[in-house]
Amino acid sequence: MTHAATVHSLWTTAAAAPDKIPSPHIEYGQLSPTLIVIGAAIVGVLIEAGLPRRRRYAAQLFLSVVALAAAFAAVVGLAVGDYGTGKAHVAAMGAIAVDGPSLFLQGTILLVALVAVFTFAERRLDPVVHGNRVDSFAAQAAAVPGGEAEKAAVKAGFTTTEVFPLVLFAVGGMLVFPSANDLLTLFVALEVFSLPLYVLCALARRHRMLSQESAVKYFLLGAFSSAFLLFGIALLYGYAGTVGYAGIADVVDGQVRNVTPALAGTMGNDALLLIGGAMVLMGLLFKIGAVPFHMWTPDVYQGAPTPVTGFMAAATKVAAFGALLRLLYVVLPGLRWDWRPVMWGVAIVTMLGGAIVAVTQTDVKRLLAYSSIAHAGFILAGVIATTPDGISSVLFYLAAYSFVTLGAFAVVTLVRDAGGEATHLSKWAGLGRRSPLVAAVFAVFLLAFAGIPLTSGFAGKFAVFKAAADGGAGALVVVGVISSAIAAFFYIRVIVLMFFSEPRTDGPSVAVPSALTSSAIAIGVAVTLVLGVAPQYFLDLASQAGVFVR
Partner 1 sequence: MSPVYYLYLAALLFTIGAAGVLIRRNAIILFMCVELMLNACNLAFVAFSRLHGNLDGQIIAFFTMVVAAAEVVVGLAIIVTVFRSRHSASVDDASLMKL
Q: What span, in angstroms and rounded, lies between the C-alpha atoms of 282 and 271? A: 16
Q: Are 179 and 95 in contact (CB under 8 A)?
A: no
- Neighbour count for residue 509 (Cβ, 10 Å): 13
Would you say 9 or 260 has its CB closer to partner 1?
260
Question: What angle (nearest 5°) sits at the alpha carbon of residue 479, between those of residues 474 and 480?
Answer: 90
Q: What span, in angstroms and rounded, lies between the C-alpha atoms of 540 and 355? A: 30
Q: Is 184 in the site for partner 1 (CB under 8 A)?
A: yes
- Binding residues for partner 1 restricted to 65-84, rule: CB under 8 A: none
Q: Is 188 in the site for partner 1 (CB under 8 A)?
A: yes
Which residues lie below 8 Å from residue 82, measured CB to CB, with a gap of 6+? none
Nearest to 389 by CA among 472, 476, 471, 478: 471
Q: Is 202 in the site for partner 1 (CB under 8 A)?
A: yes
Would you say 118 or 193 has its CB closer to partner 1?
193
With contacts defined by CB under 8 A, name the span among 216-224, 304-312, 457-465, 490-498 that binds partner 1: 216-224
Closest distance to partner 1 from the beta carbon of 213 (Å): 5
Q: Is 126 in the site for partner 1 (CB under 8 A)?
A: no
Task: Pick one of 231, 344, 462, 499: the residue that binds partner 1 (CB under 8 A).
Answer: 231
Q: What span, in angstroms and rounded, lies between the C-alpha atoms of 107 and 114? A: 11
Closest distance to partner 1 from the beta carbon of 275 (Å): 10
247-250 long-range contacts (CB < 8 A, ≥24 apart) are 248/183, 248/331, 249/330, 249/331, 249/332, 249/333, 249/334, 249/550
- Neighbour count for residue 242 (Cβ, 10 Å): 18
Task: Pick one of 119, 242, 316, 528: the residue that binds partner 1 (CB under 8 A).
Answer: 242
Task: Pick one of 266, 387, 519, 544: the residue that binds partner 1 (CB under 8 A).
Answer: 266
Q: Are 400 and 460 in contact (CB under 8 A)?
A: yes
Would you say 188 or 522 has its CB closer to partner 1?
188
Task: Pick one of 7, 66, 128, 216: the residue that binds partner 1 (CB under 8 A).
Answer: 216
Q: Is 213 in the site for partner 1 (CB under 8 A)?
A: yes
Closest distance to partner 1 from the beta carbon of 218 (Å): 9
288 to 317: interface string for partner 1, x by CB under 8 A: ----------xx--xx--------------
Would you say 194 or 455 has its CB closer to partner 1?
194
Q: Is 220 in the site for partner 1 (CB under 8 A)?
A: yes
509: helix, strand or coil: strand
Task: Pick one of 214, 386, 405, 456: the residue that binds partner 1 (CB under 8 A).
Answer: 214
Would you say 184 or 488 has its CB closer to partner 1?
184
Would you say 30 or 302 has its CB closer to partner 1?
302
Q: What span, in angstroms and rounded, lies between the C-alpha atoms of 479 and 76? A: 37
- Binding residues for partner 1 restricted to 142-181, rule: CB under 8 A: 142, 144-145
Nearest to 225 by CA among 142, 301, 297, 118: 297
Buried b (16+ CB within 10 A) or exposed e, 390-400: bbbbbbbbbbb
Closest distance to partner 1 from the beta carbon of 172 (Å): 14
Would you say 233 or 343 has its CB closer to partner 1?
233
Q: What span, in angstroms and rounded, lies between the C-alpha atoms of 85 and 540? A: 13
Closest distance to partner 1 from the beta carbon of 350 (Å): 19
Q: Is 260 in the site for partner 1 (CB under 8 A)?
A: yes
Q: Is 187 in the site for partner 1 (CB under 8 A)?
A: yes
Nearest to 60 by CA among 194, 168, 205: 168
**Number of H-type helices and E-type strands within the chain:** 23, 5
User: In the complex, which residues of this chain contact partner 1 (CB under 8 A)?
Assistant: 141-142, 144-145, 184, 187-188, 191, 195, 198-199, 202, 208-210, 212-217, 219-220, 223-224, 227-228, 230-231, 233-235, 237-238, 241-243, 260, 262-263, 266, 298-299, 302-303, 360-361, 366
